[in-house]
Structure 1
Amino acid sequence: MTETPALQQKRPGRIARVWRPLTIAALALVLVATGMLLRPLVFPENHSAPPILSQVEIGFTQDMTAHHEQALIMVQRLDPGVDPTVRQLAQQIADTQRMEIGTMLGWLRLANASPDSKHPMSWMSSTAAHDHSMPTMTSTNSTSMPGMATQTELDSLATARGKDAEIQFLQLMLRHHTGGVAMAKAADQLIASGPVKETARGMITTQSQEAGLMTIMLAQRGSQPLS
């Protein structure tokens, strides 16, 4: 069928009307994409990602990792021949604190922070450390971390046997837990929210329960906690 001259004249107009909106839409997309690419150059963005851990969280995590590591040393130096109840408690402490060490080292890696603190307990030197409601920190060695055993005490534990080993272990670990609870309470008060705060609270509960049990076990052996 041969098109009439009238139809031939209408077709280009009709095609133009179809393609014109498509052309405009494509041009708009190009302009939007160009604007997105040029925006950082024209209007530099100054958005910095928030830190994974605060300085208090990093300091507490570093110090508590070192604190836990000494607890593992105490368990390793305990005479294998002690009463099964003492051995079972020691293994429970080791299992719990080894798991917490892994968690805390993972946080420090994510935060690109060293696992060791050059200035132990420096996270307590802020203005909050002067708050009289904060737990009192007492230490037995130069690290300033409360509850830590001296090298002489660790060496004595390694050579102790039988009931003497049980008493030394319970005394040292009880003092160690008391110091750990004090650190965890301080972190709980200084940290607003988050997993580090929740972990600190978990430590308070677990170590307080274990400390109560060790106090009873010492009394059963006619001994008292260390001052």
Structure 2
Amino acid sequence: MTEPEQRAVTATRAVVVAVAVVAVLLLGAAVGLLIKLPGADTSSTPAADSVDVGFAQDMAVHHLQGVTMANEARNRTADPAIRQLAFDIQSTQLEQVGRMKGWLTLWGHPEQSVDGTHMKWMSASSHAHGASAAAGVTGLMPGMATSAELAKLRALTGVDFDVYFLQLMLRHHQGGAPMAEYGAAHAGQPVVRTLADNMLKSQKSEGEYMKQLLTERGAAPLTS
């Protein structure tokens, strides 16, 4: 394939991925706006400082970084197992982000915390991974990759890329688990509790699979 043909294929692939991303987000938002279906608690709108609103705002932000890393893996890995995992994470988390943003729109709340802090909706406990959730976490939430780590991921190739992607994504899943656990236990809306519980179960399963993939590649999870 000539260089112009390769550029054309890359450009076409980027357009297809972009269209798919928009479609999945719209689907998730549509599902989120159907909160008035039977089984949803519509007797009151969750308050700005509620678990429901805080969970939706913070988990959407957390998820979107996972989607970013999954996009990198889908576009760059040559490993079918990594590509399939990345596709599964991207599609699932995009749909969930759309759903949470749909709820926030329905409830009349902004998509992100207005004061730039996170996890104030959680009680001050070990859920905050050493930070005070009552006071709020600024910057990155637990498990999220730094700008330097994302830059390092983009600079790697081959098996090195695959391993670092797995390490970052595994840590990302583990860091978000306490938020999902708290949301599943304390959210006021049944649909929020159900989504949080589903996240917890699916990400635990994916986490075990990523550990297996790391072992097969002679690597281990990140220690911090």
When the two structures are superposed, what TM-score results if normalisation uses the length of structure 2? 0.71
- Mapped to 2, the partners of 1:81 and 1:144 lie a distance apart of 26
Query: What pairs up with 1:1-227 in 2 under 5 angstroms?
Result: 50-54=43-47, 55-78=50-73, 80-117=76-113, 118=115, 119-124=117-122, 129-130=123-124, 135=127, 137=129, 142-227=138-223
User: Greater CA radius of gyration, 1 or 2?
Assistant: 1
Q: 1:147-201: per-residue Cα shift (whole Å, max 9, x none)?
A: 0100000111112111001011000000000011111011122225510011000
- CA spacing shift, 1:149–1:142, aligned 2, 3 Å: farther
- Mapped to 2, the partners of 1:147 and 1:208 lie a distance apart of 14
Q: 1:17-64: per-residue Cα shift (whole Å, max 9, x none)?
A: xxxxxxxxxxxxxxxxxxxxxxxxxxxxxxxx9532241110110000
Equivalent position SS for 2:76: coil
Pairwise CA RMSD:
2.0
Tell me the equivalent position of 1:34. Answer: none
- Aligned residues between the structures: 172
* Shift of residue 143, structure 1, vs aligned partner: 2.3
Gapped runs of 5+ residues in structure 1? 1-48
- Mapped to 2, the partners of 1:191 and 1:74 lie a distance apart of 28
- Mapped to 1, the partners of 2:63 and 2:169 lie a distance apart of 11
When the two structures are superposed, what TM-score results if normalisation uses the length of structure 1? 0.70
